[in-house]
Amino acid sequence: MKTEKGQALILIAVGLVALLGLTALAIDGGNAFADRRHAQNAADTSALSAALSKISSQDWQQAALTRAADNTYDNDGVSNTVTVHSPPIEGRYASDPNKNEYIQVIIVSRVDTWFARIVGVDHINNRVLAVARAKPAKPFYDGHSVVALSPGDGKNNTPEIKFYGSAVEVGVTGSGIFANSSDGCAVDTSGSPDLTAPYINSPGTVCGVSGITTGSGTQYPFPPDYSYLDDLCSKPNAVNINGDFPDSTINSNTIYCISGDFKINGGNYSATNVTFVIGGGVSISGNGTLNLKSPPNSPLFYLPYAASKVNNNKYTVTINGNSDMELVGQLLAPASHCKLNGTGATNPLSGQVICYTLELGGNSDAVVIYNDIDNMDEPPQIELTQ
């Protein structure tokens, strides 16, 4: 029995070491974890602050540093460092084609330990990063004049853009044509239209066209996200119409929100800074005088996207032009089939035509003139991407 003296002390000592280790893990590890979470939140808010400042043409680097300091990471070089980079210096956004739009914030913080010092660990380093994107305002769909957004139906020879008829001229000026479809013959002709355009691009193939530069292109995501237009009908100058447009006076500086169809079958109308948000379809006949112009920050005609419109092809846009028609602004109908028939106007549509599928032609001139100042831009956006 005498040989067993002192064994309890050894067990107690070993137990104390284990207990101190667990205490160090619980307290010092908990402190490090809490700091890491706090540092990540600081990096996220700093990156977003920098993105907002960059869009506003302000000092985005200083904005990030200031926001980090507000969250106790003051870049003192001892307890923490904060670095801000655009483009990012690491990760997948460092090689992104739009890398200059991304801002990366990296925070390295030092957390001093209490109990872990006993085993030689006097501090723990945390390293976190965040990436935000500052997308500047830019023309819709890179400024193409005529865009068919359909990604394709998987079938060849069912064109998403068709030029048809025996028009003297089916012309697009100022910018070119883009078919979003990846199918064969995403663009084609029917009849003998005299087609002019700077270019026709598509991730699919272009058929029946000669004398015009053709090329490929990257497919745009579909369906589109136009959530920034959701508040149009809640603005003070909005007029809500339950049912079809009554074919009456059109006032300037007004947003018309129509649950049904927009139809004009003659008459004389003239208005500026006007927008039509339409729940149904559009039918415009070329009788009388029609001069409408949108404001710079919204489209002329907007038919919000709905899957039912695509699947059933339920809502269409048909515009029969005439020599007294001038529509200035965007036709934004991402789920609709649009048919623009020319009947002699030299400038019937000065804007951007964006539809799901599209036909352009007729038996006389049909012209789309693109000028960036006639169209609203996609608004600047900021987003936290990492």
**Looking at the domain assignment, is residue 1 inside a domain?**
no
Count of structural domains within the chain: 2
In the numeric block, which tokens belong to residue 168?
């003297």
pLDDT at position 379, please? 86
Residues 22 and 156 in one domain: no
> Could you tell me if 51 and 28 lie in one domain?
yes
Do 113 and 155 belong together in one domain? no
Residue 3 lies in a domain: no
Asked whether residue 281 falls in the same domain as residue 219, the answer is yes
Measure the CA–CA gap between 200 and 205, rounded to whole angstroms. 10
* Whole-number Å distance between alpha carbons of 287 and 324: 8
Dump pLDDT digits (tens) for 271-287. Answer: 999 999 999 999 987 67
pLDDT on residue 10: 60
Instruction: Say whether both 118 and 151 belong to one domain.
Output: no
Q: Is residue 125 in a domain?
A: yes
Domain end: 84, 118, 136, which one?
136
| 309 and 178 assigned to the same domain | yes
146, two tokens: 């005529």
Length, in residues, of the chain? 386
Per-residue confidence (pLDDT) for residue 192, from 0 to 100: 76
Domain ends where: 95, 120, 136? 136
Same domain membership, residue 224 and residue 128: no
**Average pLDDT over all residues of the chain:** 86
Q: pLDDT at residue 12 above 80?
A: no
Choice between 108 and 380, residue whose per-residue pLDDT is larger: 108
> Which is more confident, 207 or 8?
207
DSSP for residue 126: E
Residue 209 and residue 110 share a domain: no
- The answer to whether the beta carbons of residues 75 and 82 sit under 8 Å apart is yes
User: Do 122 and 145 have their domain in common?
Assistant: no
Domain that holds residue 76: 8-136
Peptide bond into 87 cis (omega under 30): yes
Please state, in angstroms and rounded to a whole number, the distance separating the CA atoms of residues 374 and 173. Answer: 13
Residue 237 lies in a domain: yes
How many CA within 13 A on the CB side of residue 283? 12
Whether residue 123 sits in one domain with residue 255: no
Q: Are residues 306 and 329 in the same domain?
A: yes
pLDDT tens digits, 227-275: 889 999 999 999 999 999 877 789 999 999 999 999 888 778 899 999 9
Give the CA distances from residue 22 to residues 6, 16, 25, in Å, rounded to whole numbers and listed in that order.
Answer: 25, 10, 5
Residue 2 domain flag:
no
| String of DSSP letters for 252-312 | SSEEEEESS-EEE-S--EEESSEEEEESS-EEE---S-EEEE--TTS-SEE----HHHHHH
47: pLDDT strictly greater than 90:
yes
pLDDT tens for each residue of 325-348: 888 999 999 999 998 876 555 456
Domain boundary among 136, 164, 193: 136
Q: What average pLDDT does this structure show over 365-377?
A: 79
Residue 130 and residue 244 in one domain: no
Report the range of poorest mean pLDDT among 190-199, 207-216, 341-350.
Answer: 341-350
